Structure 1
Amino acid sequence: MARHIYRCPLRWSDMDAFGHVNNVVFLRYLEEARIDFMFRLAPGEGSESFTGGSVVARHEIDYLRPLVHRHEPVTVETWVTKLTAASLTVAYEVKDAEAVYVRASTVVVPYNLEKGRPRRITAEERSFLEEYFDDSASGSGAAGKEAVAA
């Protein structure tokens, strides 16, 4: 099972009054990693995969320890824990060599912006996402892959 690795810089403005990265900022880190995963690594040049839009349906986040601001980036590992006909769950760990700071997951729904409604995951998108599929480390008992409904 592959994990997508994103090196996320910490910014001075990320700190709260206690010198830690603010809890809300972690959602931005997850967003940056998810966008890098789904769009930059999407299948092939000229592919329409992941370009039609998506919406976040749910976030879950466990703050394991405070992250103190520093100049070195943190690593955000991303993988897929659940894949249905019209949604996917992405899991994350925000960490460095010494510690895991956050474990989180996001339910993402592909969205057709022109029609203003959710859409199904395409075969090309599914093929890409399956390369990063692992429900064993999800920590939330995710149900895993489900059959594609016609």
Structure 2
Amino acid sequence: MTHPFQVSLSIQVKTYDTDYAGVVSNLVYLRWLEDLRLALLDAYFPLQGQLAQGYTPVLRRTEIDYRRPVRLFDPVIGRMWLPKISHMKWYISAEFEVEGSLVATAEQVGAFLDLNTWKPIPVPPDFARGFSSLKSE
């Protein structure tokens, strides 16, 4: 199923991603979420353009549910999409799977900050319009 603003990445588990038991560390999922978020921005809402306009997206919250361990050499697929936005926040959903089996899910909440004041601003109109157009397709 395709979701609004969806991106997917093939993720290679590195030796430094695993702990002494050979399981991917919980911290690594944060890096994978960052990689997915940057891919989402590159595809739909380039970060360079946001910075040029004087604002930037920031994270307010991350929640990860680990369903089963991931190990070295597991072929991980990560997916991320925006299920909704509000006046002041954006919401992200993500999932990670290995060979068709869901291994983790994540939810993130973010906002936009004005780079001059470092205060939250409403979701930029271009972002909101783009989201609305994708949701209506």
- Structure 1 vs Structure 2 CA RMSD: 2.2
Query: In 2, Cα distance between the equivalents of 1:129 and 1:50?
Result: 19
User: What is the letter of the counterpart of residue 8 of structure 1?
Assistant: I
User: What whole-Å deviation, never above 9, does each CA across 1:51-70 have from its counterpart, x for those lacking one?
Assistant: 63222111111000000111
Matches within 5 A, 1:73-112: 74-112=76-114
Query: In 2, Cα distance between the equivalents of 1:121 and 1:23?
Result: 30
* Aligned partner of residue 57 in structure 1, secondary structure: strand
The structure richer in helix per residue is: 2
- The partner residue of 2:124 within 122, 125, 135 is 122
Q: Does 1:22 align with 2:15?
A: no
Matches within 5 A, 1:28-67: 28-38=31-41, 40-43=42-45, 48-49=49-50, 52-67=55-70
User: What whole-Å deviation, never above 9, does each CA across 1:90-134 have from its counterpart, x for those lacking one?
Assistant: 00001133311110100011111222111111221123334665x
Which ranges of structure 2 fall in alignment gaps of 5 or more residues? none
Aligned length: 129
- The partner residue of 2:73 within 53, 70, 74 is 70
TM-score by structure 1 length? Answer: 0.75
Query: In 2, Cα distance between the equivalents of 1:132 and 1:16?
Result: 40
Query: In 1, Cα distance between the equivalents of 2:74 and 2:102?
Result: 17
- Aligned identity (percent) is 21
* Aligned partner of residue 25 in structure 1, secondary structure: helix
Query: In 1, Cα distance between the equivalents of 2:132 and 2:99?
Result: 27
Are residues 119 and 30 of structure 1, via their aligned partners in 2, closer, same or farther at CA, if it must alter by over 3 Å? same
Which ranges of structure 1 fall in alignment gaps of 5 or more residues? 134-150
